[in-house]
A and B are shown apart, each in its own frame.
Chain A
Amino acid sequence: MKTRTELLLELADDELILGWRNSEWTGIAPFLEEDVAFSSIAQNEIGHARALYELVARELGTDADALAFDRRPEEYRSAPLVELRRLEWARTIARHWLYETADAVRLEALKASSDPEVAGLAAKMDREEIYHRMHAEMWLERLLASGEGRERLQEGMLELWPYALGMLDGELRPPFEAIVRERLPFELPAVEPVPRGRHQAELEELLGEMTTVRRSAPAGAQW
């Protein structure tokens, strides 16, 4: 059984790393609307990460920035799905939809937590995530509506499916799997999930870039 700290760190790391990946579309998304959308989603995810790190930091006697920026790559608890570097558009949408779907299952469980702090935070996060899910669903529909879109989405889903399954474990995985299989109009194979902790090479590169400012001012900087 995972401790509260481990569980919150997994969630925080997922949100931080995916937030960073989403922000990689800022300025270069295929449409201005999507530039704005992915930038806003990134901002929300990083905001969630901060609140989660603050909860964990209080328990560990550290602070949110130290958790976000000062750990070694192997200490991150993020799922491999979020670590993959910015993907082409159809795969970006596949990851976005798979992530938001899995995240909804996880948040629903956390909202029912007997720990009032965790349940309250999950409820607050979910209010924002609703809009991420709408956005992901809108794009899923749009890609499925055309031949090429559907083909490219399907390729992306097949490639990312083992990573998506690795986001959740235990009793949360079967409901997630059922929702995905029910919604997608093509078959997904039974595969071995890529587990959390088996970090992708891209993570190290991402952390190198993300912590540049932090490392240049280790004592902290005031803006």
Chain B
Amino acid sequence: MVTETAVWEALAEIPDPEIPVISLVELGVVKEVEVEGTSVRVEFTPTFMGCPALETMRSLMEQSIRDLGGEAQIDVVMDDSWSTDRITPAGREKLREAGLAPPAPRAAGAPTLVQLQSKAFRCPYCGSTETRLDNIFGPTPCRSVRYCDSCRQPFEQFKTI
């Protein structure tokens, strides 16, 4: 018997393909789970639209639902419902521990260059805010590169979207 709780628990075991320190549930991409008998419908809200990990996430979720004995239907929701605000507090802490500064909260207004160039971002290694923007873009579309002037460590900063 497949239950919603079992599905959520199984999805919480799937690591993000590109940032394996956090799970898909911690990343906030699972919007909804509905179970009827053995059919399981998952609403999946992709992160960055060109992210090559999206297909992998999808097939990992399908596999994990099959392993529970369910038939998976993954519905992709392409709207503004995923934001970096959906990353859970535990997920944010795991990112920080892995040297990835968690995203700033989505504010009322759009992020600006002035804001990115300010000292509002904290180094995940030493905690200093003496950090500066090195590049808006980084190793994947979801990250920027910053440099910490206190501990002289470059680090990756999750973009706010």
Residues on A facing B (Cβ under 8 Å):
33, 36-37, 39-41, 43-48, 50-51, 116-117, 120-121, 123-125, 127-128, 130-131, 134-135, 137-138
Contact = CB atoms under 8 A, between A and B. Distances in A.
B48 to A, nearest CB: 6
Contacts of B79: 116-117, 120-121, 123-124
Contacts of A130: 110-111, 161
B111 A44 contact: no
15 contacts: A37-B135, A39-B137, A40-B141, A48-B49, A48-B50, A50-B50, A116-B79, A117-B79, A120-B78, A120-B79, A123-B80, A125-B49, A127-B80, A131-B137, A135-B136
Nearest to A137: B113
Nearest to A39: B137
A17 to B, nearest CB: 15
Contacts of A134: 111-113, 116, 136
B111 A51 contact: no
A43 B110 contact: no
Nearest to B141: A40
Interface in B75-108: 78-83
B51 interface: yes
B72 to A, nearest CB: 19
Secondary structure at the A interface, as helix, strand, loop or mixed, is helix
Interface of B: 48-52, 78-83, 110-113, 116, 134-141, 145, 159, 161
A125 B46 CA distance: 12
A128 B49 contact: yes
Contacts of A44: 48-50, 141
Q: Which applies to chain B's interface (DSSP): helix, strand, loop or mixed?
A: loop
Nearest to B161: A127
A37 B137 contact: yes
A26 to B, nearest CB: 12
Given A36-B137, A40-B138, A44-B48, 5 more contacts: A41-B137, A123-B80, A124-B82, A131-B111, A134-B113
Given A123-B79, A127-B80, A36 B138 contact: yes
B137 A45 contact: no
A45 B136 contact: no
Contacts of B82: 124
Q: What are the 9 closest A-B residue pairs judged by CB atoms, nearest first? A: A47-B50, A120-B79, A47-B49, A123-B80, A40-B137, A37-B137, A127-B161, A43-B50, A134-B113
A138 B113 contact: yes
Among B50, B79, B83, B161, the one with the most A-chain Cβ atoms within 10 Å of its Cβ is B50
Given A47-B48, A48-B49, A128-B48, A121 B78 contact: yes
Nearest to A125: B49
Contact of A51 (B78, B134, B138, B161): B78
B75 to A, nearest CB: 13
Contacts of B135: 33, 36-37
A21 to B, nearest CB: 15
Nearest to A44: B50
A216 B139 CA distance: 30
Given A44-B48, A48-B49, A124 B80 contact: yes
Contacts of B141: 40, 43-44, 47, 128
A56 B113 CA distance: 34
Nearest to B115: A134
A125 B139 CA distance: 20
